Structure 1
């Protein structure tokens, strides 16, 4: 019964996402004026996020959803990331994993300059930061079974999402989401149970942040 209930919830969520995607496409077509505007995506995050193939795919898919054709054309993600890295190098800004901890996050003027280099109309700027990983563990004794140990890895991820009009250098939309992600493992009498993965915790949190991101771009 529980499996059937979960399946029904999953189908409802899938239907909602499909309907929302169809609505976005209808709005884009109805507001299309004959001019296709270019959009570039900048993901400014620790190296572990940027180099994760699954996270990159999530970001690209979300950008395609937010900026549907024919009103928009999302430029190749790799091109915009390379231009961002070149900009950081040329301006003496660290490109290492912990760059954001030392006050070197991209400012409005930086984002505009990168957007101008890409010859794009809008920049979707996604800045990801996290609270750092934390561990928690528990031990339970079950009669006639023995000791069961569980370990949990957890992190909180903050996604700052902003859309900039490159021509004016101003943000036209902004939204911030904060979500938790976790991964756990269990062992019985000291047997089994690999250490929980922080990568899975990070990815879960980012997926939840982007899944709930909803910005109306039809009026841009």
Structure 2
């Protein structure tokens, strides 16, 4: 009689596996959706601030605002659980240098930053100690309007301002459609 009980217990365990496996997937789907929303808010606020600064004082004014306002916008869109930032293989601000994992993702995105008309995105759920519980990246393809500050031919006045504010600048030489970088969203806990 003990044998049928073990078989029943094993069968119940196996039958409950899909439901158990579904919970982390649902959690990851929710976190991806939240990450996308954070990227949309952050990129929208940054674009709005840059456009206003450029309209008010030209590209050199936009560069100054980008240096000071972009980190503030990232901080405003982050909280105790979630952090949003940007990174690139060619950073303008050394504080935005990619981690090892981010660098691997950027190298893969660099081959194809856009797929089916949308920026490529990747995410990972991790239980490794010392790692974010969830991390997400969304490619930033270089748009035409980015080329005045990130392109191959930069106005000398703009270049002088970049040299002043970003003496270690690597973020030039891009063409439209190139991978400019990525938005990065991390979550430190898995609690819902």
TM-score, with structure 1 as normaliser: 0.27
Higher strand share: 1
Higher helix share: 2
TM-score, with structure 2 as normaliser: 0.29
